[in-house]
Amino acid sequence: MAIKEIHKVAVIGSGSMGHQIAMLCSLGGFETHIQDLEQDALNQAKEQLEKHMNKWIQKEKITEIKKDEAFARLHMTTSLEDAVRNADLVIEAVVEKLDVKREVFSKLDGLVPEHTILATNSSTIVNSKLAEFTTRPDRVLNMHFFYPPLVMDCVEVVMSEQTSKETAQTALEFCDRIGRTGVLLEKEIYGFIANRLLFAISKEALYLYEEGYADFKDIDLITKKALKHPIGPFELMDLSGIDVGYYGNMQLYQETGDPKDKPAKSVEDKVKAGNLGRKTGKGWYDYT
Ligand SMILES: NC(=O)c1ccc[n+]([C@@H]2O[C@H](COP(=O)([O-])OP(=O)(O)OC[C@H]3O[C@@H](n4cnc5c(N)ncnc54)[C@H](O)[C@@H]3O)[C@@H](O)[C@H]2O)c1
């Protein structure tokens, strides 16, 4: 299906990612329906998006008229049937649980028209694991947005062996239409590209720290000064939540069984102590 045939978009799941992805779609001019099981999640989404768009107006990133038009195109519902009726593209952003996503994909397959593209925003689940629960594996792919989607300008568009070139091309053009840089991954790989690079850096940083080559603060300093990264690996762990990396690592270790994929000891200690980073006031650094 070509991009010009995409008129209606549905986003499933209205959490941290889903509500902002839906806003991007409506700002991009698409009739957008967002669905969540929880009315509360939808209410919160509406409130947060109002605040966000008002800030954009203050910063002159958007006009009041554009904001009103975008909200007029954005519809919220707890009914999956209503949300996806006649949708041309569905972006799934529900909880990161394989069985839940499989159920959603299987339901979607029976509800949407034949031409509809089904995308998942999952960070760790490759689309082929969901495509097998549909009758349209050529129209299934990952569209991996970054947090927060209203700020981060990158979407990893990931093809499985069965995703058609046309589907990938349409997804890339769709990213362009919503003001995001879509980048193609021609094969599936766990963690995709950005998170794998991030993973590699933090793994090496933890090794250097744990082996006593340098203090974590100095490793952060070198990363910023010498490599011009805006933030060091330990600061980043604190920002995104030390537990998030830990559980991601645990999942990888469970999949591969390879001891080198096990979370680092120092990370495990922090998770056990409840020092998870900025959100708990203490992680690698003290924020109290
Ligand atoms: N948070 C991140 O930094 C980030 C970044 C990139 C990708 N992702 C991916 O985005 C997806 C969502 O993550 P999130 O952080 O927004 O999660 P979240 O927990 O904030 O939101 C998930 C939402 O899905 C809803 N939900 C659960 N089951 C549902 C169902 N069957 N139908 C409809 N709604 C359902 C929940 O009520 C909740 O509102 C995950 O797959 C995650 O891997 C997250």
Q: Spell out the per-residue pLDDT of the chain, length 288, in tens.
A: 899 999 999 999 999 999 999 999 999 999 999 999 999 999 999 999 999 999 999 999 999 999 999 999 999 999 999 999 999 999 999 998 899 999 999 999 999 999 999 999 998 899 999 999 999 999 999 999 998 999 999 999 999 999 999 999 999 999 999 999 999 999 999 889 999 999 899 999 999 999 999 999 999 999 999 999 999 999 999 998 899 889 888 878 888 899 988 999 999 999 999 999 999 999 999 999
Comparing C-alpha atoms, which of 64, 54, 116, 126 is closest to residue 91? 116
| 90 Cα–ligand 1 center, Å | 14
**Per residue in 8-33, is it b (16+ CB within 10 Å) or e — as a string?**
bbbbbbbeebbbbbbbbbbbbebbbb
Which residues sit with their C-beta closer than 6 Å to ligand 1? 12-18, 35-38, 41, 93-96, 100, 104, 121-123, 145-147
d(Cα 148, Cα 30) in Å, to the nearest integer?
A: 20
Asked if the structure places residue 208 within a domain, the reply is: yes
Contacts of residue 187, Cβ cutoff 8 Å, sequence gap at least 6: 159, 161
Last residue of a domain, one of 185, 209, 231: 185
Return the amino acid letter for 19.
Answer: H
d(Cα 141, Cα 163) in Å, to the nearest integer?
A: 6
* Threshold 0.85, pTM exceeds: yes
Instruction: Determine the atom of ligand 1 nearest the C-alpha atom of 120.
Output: 41
Q: What total number of domains does the chain contain?
A: 2
Choose which residue among 36, 78, 101, 144 to substitute to test ligand 1 binding: the one with the highest number of ligand atoms within 8 A of its C-beta. 36
Last residue of a domain, one of 133, 166, 185: 185
| Residue-range definition of the domain harbouring residue 263 | 194-280
Asked if the structure places residue 285 within a domain, the reply is: no
Instruction: Please tell me whether residues 15 and 125 are part of one structural domain.
Output: yes
d(Cα 100, Cα 105) in Å, to the nearest integer?
A: 9
Instruction: Please tell me whether residues 178 and 204 are part of one structural domain.
Output: no
d(Cα 47, Cα 117) in Å, to the nearest integer?
A: 29
Asked if the structure places residue 266 within a domain, the reply is: yes
- Among protein residues, the one with the nearest Cα to ligand 1's atom 41 is 122
Asked if the structure places residue 252 within a domain, the reply is: yes
Asked if the structure places residue 287 within a domain, the reply is: no
Asked if the structure places residue 94 within a domain, the reply is: yes
CATH number for position 13: 3.40.50.720
Instruction: Please tell me whether residues 34 and 80 are part of one structural domain.
Output: yes
